[in-house]
Amino acid sequence: MYRFVLRRLFSGVLLLFVITTVAYLLLYAGGGDIARRIVGPTASDAQVALKASQLGLDRPLVVQYWDWLTNALTGDLGRSWFNGQLVSAGVSSRLSVTISLVLGAVLIAAVISVVIGVWAAVRRGWVDRVVQFVGVLGFAIPGFLIALGLVSLFALNLKWFKATGYVPMTTSFGGWAATVTLPIIALSIGCIAAVVQQVRGSLIDALRQDYVRTLRARGLSFNRVVYKHVLRNAGGPALAVLAVQFIGLLGGAVIVEQIFALPGLGQITVAATGQGDIPVVMGVVVATAAIVVAVNLIIDLAQGWLNPKVRLS
Amino acid sequence: MTETLLDVKDVVVEYPLKGFRREPFKALKGVSLDIRPGETVGLVGESGSGKTTLGRAVLGLAPVTGGSIKYRGEEISKASRAKRKELSHEIQVVFQDPYTSLNPSMTIEQILTEPLTVRKVERQTANKRVADLLDQVRLPQGAAHRLPREFSGGQRQRVAIARALALDPKLIVCDEPVSALDLSTQARVMELFIEIQERTGVAYLFVSHDLAVVRHLSHRVAVMYHGEIVEWGDGEQVTGAPEHPYTQRLFMAAPIPDPDRQAKHRADRIRLLELQNQQDLQAGAA
Amino acid sequence: MIETPLALPVTAAKVSLFRRLLTHPTGAASLLVLFLVALASALAPILATHDPNTANLQDVLAKAGSEHVLGADSAGRDVFSRLLFAGQFSLAGALVALAVALVLGVTAGLIAGYYGGWFDAVSSWLTGLMMALPGMVVLLAARAVVGPSMWLSMMIFGVMLSPAFFRLVYASVTAVRNELYVDAARVSGLSDFRIIGRHILTVVRAPVIIQSAMVLGIAIAIQAGLEFLGLGDLNIPTWGSMLNDGFINIFKSPTLVLWPALIIGLVCIALTLLANAMRDELERSRGPVKKSRKAAATAAIADAAGAAEKRGAAAVVHPDEPGADKSELLLEVTDLGVGYDQPDGSTTHVVNHVNLTVRRGEVHGLVGESGSGKTQTAFSILRLLPQGGRITGGSIFFEGKDLAHLSEKDMTKVRGKRIAYIPQEPMSNLDGAFTIGSQLMEPMRVCLGISKTEARKRALALLAKVGIPNPERTFNAYPHQISGGMAQRVLIAGAVSCEPDLLIADEPTTALDVTVQAEVLNLLRELQDELNMGVILVTHNFGVVADLCDRVSVMQSGRVVETGPVRAIFNGARHPYTRQLLDAILEDTAPRGQYNPAGTTAEPQELKGVAS
């Protein structure tokens, strides 16, 4: 078990390293004349050269990268080229908003999906058909369209929620809940649709397994077999889909934050992207990759718990 | 004397195992046998004995890491793709599972002409050949345009046999070809095998776990155990009066379909096991 | 990034998929919507009333009317015309992404799946890398470097989407690569190129088309999202940039956001529904294949049963031998019928009018070929028929209760404690997620209501009893850590753990090697003797029947054709089918004989009574 955890941990760190390295090289090598963009087209060549040397851009790329990496390991991700703010501070202050949105959506999706998935797989018939059809629709409609719909219906027309803005959880839980409810719903619908399909599918597969009959023949009730054995066996594929969804939601959150004007990672990403503020973009990539690695690690451990073959081989 | 068709000498097959510096898995540990034209050699053993691997090694589907496999005196264990293509006229195969050995999306005609396309046979000749092959395995001509799923297990196995016969081979490796079939279907397919052999003079390497099947079909029999041949010789001799302790155990284990004789057989088996245990103990003490 | 369906059906379609889609309601509707949107976009220069990029300050946010059919946007551009032209760019952009993803993913998947080796390792690792980051974040980062080019963004997104195809093709190819028919093609000397073209492309084609529809929808959505953030190319009209404009002005002109949202939603839904419709159709054409063995057998049974009914054939019943043991009747099955409900409302009968008795301490063999209904009969006694199956008639009396009409709750109490079951396949009948020990203890604790320590003690004792050399180790092992023979012993231990009165063994030794079979048969005999159980032994092997059974019933096409004491069946079978089965037994036939090099071997050993 320890070896399993260590191995997963090692491959996670490796993944983080590779992603950030590739991202750094692509971002800094592909950016063209960065200094020129920062000082503006009217600046003289001397001003451009000065800016470049101020930012260290005149050094070889590998040297710049080594510099960045050693600083990054101490938690220093550099400063924004445009407003001089610390990247680490900018990213971490917004991380909590994005994480609370995505985590909220995933947790809600997990619970709802299991309930609906079990219902559809066990009952079959019309229940199953309705769940499948609604699921397809939920999967098909892009999350930001749902968000737009929710904003115009509940916030602009019915005025049940505030359309935009954010209240930190520490200030007021009620205020926080009111501002994140619609975004979380918008994010979770597609996620629920995808996970329900997987839960339903793998449950139906698991229900067909021979051991279900054998366990029932030993005197265990159908419900007991479903909740203790079948669900656990169907859990692996469902968790894998949940992990994929989590990663997808990190992307979806960018747009949803924009619609609800939430001060999350998406906000600085969009701003930095528009300006070409590479250090900030790099900071966002590092943060996202770290979240992804952490999520994958958690999911891997859960898989190992569910399936002894994974952890013992 | 008669020439030898296939000569297998000290063949070793190893599969690399995943993991750093792991010893490869030895599926065959130096196996030798030979097949003469028109002969059936039965290869009997339990799961994991290596009998299927030997068949696959002859077909070029298993990695031979030692020894030699000679077909008409020519080394084929490391034959190139082009050489294999030539050999497809000489050596063919019938697999165990009639449900997965035929591509479900191809018609019977397409399946039977597949080996012919390698030869670049003309379409008309190919069609005639298909009709002829269906005749040989006693399937109706209408079968040509149907999909495998429309046939029963026994019929599918006939299609597989027809495919093997398409290029007039001299040797067919049969890998448990009747194991998945019902008893009466099994008997009919076996009769077909014998009849084809009588007519065409094809030789079989017949792999099976079923002693009765092997006994019924084979002129000579090899018994495999843990990647080695433990007994090899005349079919009647090996299946009638086996000498190797494992072969004896194997033959005593198969139940006889008669209640009274089986009761005696069962008692004999228990006596044999005790005797062998004692011998083992004595060998250990000595 | 996106989920990839791994186990898609293999098509065996004879009628073209396209034509079948036209008859599928949502499939046809989706196709129509997509066709109209594509057509309208293609004909934009003809249909449009205005130039899409001409701003007119007088018309800023104009309401829908005669001048502007759908109104005008914040720059006074005609919304209707922009929608049409935007379609060209949005669809083309999505197609670019799809093309890149297809080419990369399918090629890499084919090569990696078929050849494996280092290419497999590298591409699988790259795939994992690409799927580790959200596509949106990558696109935004790329945008920071390359600027607002839609085409470039879509190409990058195409690369990001390629794992969807890679994984799909890879999974199909690795599954097919080891199929026996591919081996047969290799033996026939087909080149790799031909094998891939003939056997592998046909398998991946349909799933790839389905996946393409899904990917196209995702590409349209992501592209719209990117433009919606205001990070797109401002010089070309797209649905996403219209959405952006509409959202900024949502208070001033609420309908502005509606049109692009509607069309994006419509196209995405149509693509997803189309993918689902295609999957439906493929599964339907594949339906009969998937369960072909069962279905074919079932159909054959239904026909044969009908014929038998007309003949009015009654089962041959042999009288009991004089002096036979007349112990208490444990189970009495009378006139049992089992049927499966079909989608069209009819019922296919797989077991008809079966009568069966088991006395305490008696082993009753149920013999027949595949599809004879012997396993269905066994399952119906346990009331554990597969989905769709039900008892259609007759009674199953066990200890004075009719199991055919018992409530599910009462039946649960009977199972395990009174009637136990030994399955055919040892490995698939153990739950791989739990240790052997916990699977043995759980039913004992439920059925006997004993404590955990007591259950543990009993489980260890049982494992020792069924001949497992190291009970403690097996107790703590997971199913995949033990051999098939051991697993079957564990299942037998589980079956007898609550000391049942009746044991139903469904081909308990079929999956085992002969030497293991002999040991398991011995074990069954000992346990049956010790616990004085009645046993129903389902088998097709007459050797097993001869070894264990006291009585035999021969089944054919869902009916019992002959029944009687074991010796009467072996020595005096009267029904032609029973005789045919007995004649097909090879054990007593002479060996093949000597090899005769002249080519004319001795006359082949004829099998008695087998019609070719």
Burial, C92: exposed, middle or buried (Cβ in 10 Å; 0-12, 13-18, 19+)? Answer: middle
Residues of chain B contacting C549 with CB distance shorter than 8 Å = 259
Mean pLDDT over the full length of chain A: 85
Q: Which residues contact C605 (CB under 8 A, 6 or more apart)?
A: B216, C589, C590, C592
CA distance A65 to chain C (A): 17
Contact C140 A281 (CB under 8 A): yes
Q: Write the Ramachandran bin of C399: left for phi over 0, alpha for psi from -120 to 50, otherwise beta.
A: left
Place of tokens 């088996």: B269
Closest approach of C175 to chain A, Cα-based (Å): 18
Least confident residue range of A226-230, C9-13, C44-48 = C9-13
Tell whether C597 is within 8 A of chain B (Cβ): yes
pLDDT, position C310: 43
Contacting residues of C for A23, CB less than 8 Å apart: 141
Q: Residue B19: what pLDDT?
A: 64
pLDDT, tens only, C167-209: 999 988 888 888 888 988 888 888 888 888 888 888 888 889 8
Q: What is the mean pLDDT of residues B247-266?
A: 91
**Distance to chain C for B104, nearest Cα, Å:** 7
Nearest to C134 among A149, A214, A250 (CB): A250
Instruction: Give yes or no for residue C604 having a pLDDT over 60.
Output: no
Contacts of C515 in chain B (CB under 8 A): 46, 249-250, 253
3-state secondary structure A117-184: HHHHHHHCHHHHHHHHHHHHHHHHCCHHHHHHHHHHHHHHHCCCCCCCCCCCCCCCHHHHHHHHHHHH
Residue A230's alpha-carbon distances to A118, A202, B37, B90, C286, in angstroms, are 10, 9, 55, 51, 26
Please tell me which chains touch B, using 3 or more CB pairs under 8 Å as the contact test. C
User: Count of B–C CB contacts within 8 Å?
Assistant: 210
Task: Give the three-state DSSP class for A38.
Answer: helix
Here the tokens at position A191 are 């996620």
Q: Stretch A220-230: mean pLDDT, rounded? A: 92
Buried b (16+ CB within 10 A) or exposed e, A62-99: eebbeebeeebeeeebbbbbeeeebbbebbeebbebbb
The more confidently predicted of residues C267 and A53 is C267
Chain A partners within 8 Å of C276 (Cβ): 136
The residue-averaged pLDDT of C213-232 equals 88
Neighbours of chain A (3+ CB pairs under 8 A): C
Q: Which pLDDT belongs to residue A45?
A: 78
CA distance C476 to chain B (A): 25
Confidence of residue C325 (pLDDT cuts 50, 70, 90): low
Nearest-by-Cβ selection for C135 from A218, A224, A251 = A251
From CA B72, how far away is CA A256, in angstroms rounded? 74
CB contact under 8 A, C425 and A259: no
- Average pLDDT value over all residues in chain B: 89
Predicted local confidence at residue C236, as pLDDT? 85
Q: Reduce the secondary structure of C362-411 to three states and give it as a string.
A: CEEEEECCCCCCHHHHHHHHHCCCCCCEEEEEEEEEECCEEHHHCCHHHH
Cβ contacts of B85 on chain C, cutoff 8 Å: 189
Look at residue B114 in the predicted model and tell me its pLDDT: 87
Q: Which residues of B touch C368 (CB under 8 A)?
A: none
Question: Is A210 in CB contact (< 8 Å) with chain C?
Answer: yes
Place of tokens 């979380």: A184
Please list every residue in chain C whose beta carbon sits closer than 8 Å to the beta carbon of residue A215. 431, 439, 443
The answer to whether the CB atoms of A312 and C268 lie below 8 A apart is: no
* DSSP H helical ranges for chain B: 51-59, 81-87, 108-119, 123-136, 153-165, 183-200, 211-217, 235-240, 245-253, 259-285
d(CA A248, CA A53): 38
Residue C612 has a pLDDT of 38
**HSE (side-chain half, CA atoms, 13 Å) at B269:** 25
pLDDT at A32: 59
Question: Tens digits of per-residue pLDDT, C354-386?
Answer: 999 999 999 999 998 888 899 999 999 999 998
Q: What percent of chain B has pLDDT over 70?
A: 97
Backbone angles phi, psi at B74, to 5 degrees: -105, 135
Cα C276–chain centre separation: 17
Residue of C nearest to A156 (CA): C251
Q: What CA–CA distance (Å, rounded) separates C120 from C114? A: 9
- Helix then strand then coil, in percent of chain A rounded to 5, is 80, 0, 20
**pLDDT for res B10:** 95
pLDDT tens digits for range C304-318 = 444 445 444 578 888
Q: Reduce the DSSP state of residue B282 to 3 states and report it.
A: helix
- Lowest-confidence pick of B47-56, C67-76, C224-233: C67-76
Q: Is the pLDDT of residue A29 over 80?
A: no
The mean pLDDT value for C413-429 works out to 92
- The pLDDT value recorded for residue C9 is 34
Residue type, B142: G
Chain C segment 535-594 residues within 8 A of B by beta carbon are: 540-547, 549, 566-567, 570, 580-582, 584-589, 591-594
Exposed/middle/buried for A288, CB within 10 Å: 0-12, 13-18, 19+? Answer: buried
Residue A79, pLDDT above cutoff 90: no
d(CA B256, CA A144): 72
* pLDDT at residue C289 greater than cutoff 60: no
In the numeric block, which tokens belong to residue C254? 């609420």
With 60 as the cut, is the pLDDT of residue C524 above it?
A: yes
The arithmetic mean of pLDDT across residues C256-274, rounded, is 90
Which of B101, B252, B254 lies nearest to residue C181, judging by beta carbons? B101
DSSP three-state, residue C165 = helix
Q: What is the pLDDT of residue B118?
A: 74
pLDDT band at C603 (very low <50, low <70, confident <90, very high): very low
- Residue C607 at interface with chain B, using a CB cutoff of 8 Å: yes
Q: Which chain B residues touch C189 with a CB distance below 8 Å?
A: 81, 84-88, 115, 118
Q: What are the percentages of helix, strand and coil residues in chain B, rounded to 5? A: 45, 25, 30
Residues of chain B neighbouring C594 (CB-CB closer than 8 A): 219, 234, 236
A148: chain C residues, CB-CB within 8 Å = 243, 247, 257, 261
Which pLDDT score is estimated for C293? 44
C4 pLDDT above the threshold of 50: no
Residue of B nearest to C183 (CA): B61
Asked if the model's pLDDT at residue B21 lies above 70, the reply is no
**Predicted confidence (pLDDT) at residue A80 exceeds the cutoff of 60:** yes
Q: For position C3, what pLDDT does the model report?
A: 35
Is B185 a residue whose pLDDT tops 90?
no
Q: What is the CA radius of gyration of chain A?
A: 24
Query: Which whole number is the average pLDDT over C323-352?
Result: 86
Mutation choice for C interface testing from A95, A198, A273, A313 by most C CBs within 10 A: A273
Facing residue for C268 by CB, picked from A30, A142, A210: A142
Give the confidence band of A236 by pLDDT, cuts at 50, 70, 90: confident
Chain C residues with CB-CB distance to A312 below 8 A = 478, 481
Pick from C146, C384, C433: CB nearest A216: C384
- What pLDDT, in 10s, does the model give residues C151-167? 888 999 999 999 989 99
Among B residues 182-221, those touching chain C with beta carbons less than 8 Å apart: 182-188, 190-192, 194-195, 197-198, 201, 209-213, 215-220
**Is pLDDT at B88 greater than 70 in this prediction?**
yes
Identify which has the larger pLDDT, A59 or C612: A59
**Predicted local confidence at residue B150, as pLDDT:** 85
Which residue matches tokens 């599926």? Answer: B27
Identify the pLDDT of residue C598.
Answer: 57
pLDDT tier, A163 (very low <50, low <70, confident <90, very high otherwise): low
Chain C neighbors of A269, CB-CB under 8 A: 137, 140
List the single best residue of B5, B85, B96, B114 to mutate versus C (max C Cβ within 10 A): B114
Q: Does the pLDDT of residue B276 top 50, yes or no?
A: yes
**Assembly ipTM:** 0.87
User: Greater confidence, B148 or A55?
Assistant: B148
Average pLDDT, chain C: 84
CATH code of the domain made up of B1-90+172-177+207-243: 3.40.50.300
* Gyration radius of chain C's alpha carbons: 34
Phi, psi of B179 (to 5 degrees): -70, -30
> CB A219 to CB C447 under 8 A?
yes
Residue (of C567, C530, C573, C532) closest to C554 by Cα position: C573
- Contact in structure between A164 and A260 (CB atoms under 8 Å): yes
User: What are the sequence ranges of the domains in chain B?
Assistant: 1-90+172-177+207-243, 255-286
CA distance C113 to C208: 15
Query: Helix crossing, C484-496 with C514-531: angle to 10°?
Result: 10
In sign, the C-alpha dihedral spanning C108, C114, C119, C124 is: positive
Contact at CB, C141 and A273, closer than 8 angstroms = yes
**Searching chain A, which residue's CA lies closest to the CA of residue C423?**
A214
Phi then psi for residue B207, to 5 deg, are -95, 125
Residues of C in Cβ contact (< 8 Å) with B137: none
If you average pLDDT over residues B147-170, what whole number do you get? 90
Q: Which of A236-250, A261-275, C13-27 has the lowest mean pLDDT?
A: C13-27
Q: How confident is the model at residue B8 (pLDDT cuts 50, 70, 90)?
A: very high
- Any idea where the domains of chain C sit in the sequence? 28-53+68-285
Please report which confidence band the pLDDT of residue C597 belongs to, taking 50, 70 and 90 as the band edges: low
The CA distance from C487 to the nearest CA of chain A, in Å, is 12
Q: Determine the pLDDT at residue C286.
A: 58
Neighbour-count burial for B223-259, b at 16+ CB within 10 Å, e otherwise: bbbebbbbbbebbbebbeebeebbbbbbbbbbbbbbb
Share of chain C above pLDDT 90, in %: 44
pLDDT of C303 higher than 50: no
CB contact under 8 A, C543 and B59: no
Q: Partners of B172 in the beta sheet?
A: B92, B204
Name chain B contacts of C191, Cβ cutoff 8 Å: 81
pLDDT band for position A120 (cuts 50, 70, 90): very high
Answer yes or no: do A219 and C443 touch at CB < 8 A.
yes
Tell me: domain C28-53+68-285, CATH 1.10.3720.10, correct?
yes
Of C12, C591, C605, the CB nearest to B147: C12
Q: Is the pLDDT of residue B104 over 80?
A: yes
